[in-house]
Amino acid sequence: MPAKKIPLKDVIRRYRALYTGAVADVLDSLALRDQVLPYAIAPVTTDLVVAGPAFTGQGYPVADVANDDSQTRINMLESIKPETISVWSSLGHFESAHWGEIMANAARERAAPVPWWTAACATPASSSR
C-alpha cells in the first residue's frame, strides 16, 4: 500500500510543535547532515518559530550601478510558493540591501513568511506576516 501523502500545512504544523534539536537528531541519524540553520541564527524571542520548505537566495553587490536586474527579481518574486521560508545569504556583504519592502510584500502576497537570513548577517530577523 502506498504511503499516504500528508498535506504541507499539516507537516508544517507538526514541525512547528517539535523541539529543533529532536529534528536535527533524526536528520543526523538519516545521514542528512547540515540540514538546520547554524547556532548563530536564533529568533529574537522563543515564540518566533518558523517551519516549511526553504526558498533560498543569494544577494551580492554589483559594481555597475547601471545594471538592471529588475526582470530577474520579478521572476524570482513570482516563483515564491506559499508556506516557503525565504532564506537569504549576503556572503558577508553588509553594505547593500538584499531584501527590501517590495520583496517582503511580494512574499507576503504569496502567503510566505519573510525572511530568514544566513549567518552572514549580524542580527537574523523574522516575521510571521
Q: What is the pLDDT of residue 114?
A: 55
Question: Each residue of 53-73: pLDDT tens digit?
Answer: 888 888 777 778 788 888 888
Chain mean pLDDT for the chain = 77
Cα–Cα distance between 71 and 115 in angstroms, integer? Answer: 21
Cβ(41)–Cβ(118) below 8 Å: yes
Do residue 54 and residue 93 come from a single domain? yes
pTM above 0.85, yes or no: no
Do residue 8 and residue 22 come from a single domain? yes
Do residue 109 and residue 52 come from a single domain? yes
Residue pointed to by grid coordinates 529574537? 44
Q: How far is CA 6 from CA 24, 26, 85, 95, in A?
A: 20, 19, 19, 42
Question: Each residue of 77-93: pLDDT tens digit?
Answer: 888 888 888 888 877 77
Cβ(93)–Cβ(120) below 8 Å: yes
Q: What is the domain range of residue 124?
A: 40-129
Do residue 14 and residue 49 come from a single domain? no
Q: How far is CA 23 from CA 53, 66, 99, in A?
A: 14, 45, 28
Do residue 20 and residue 79 come from a single domain? no
Do residue 54 and residue 102 come from a single domain? yes
Number of structural domains the chain divides into: 2
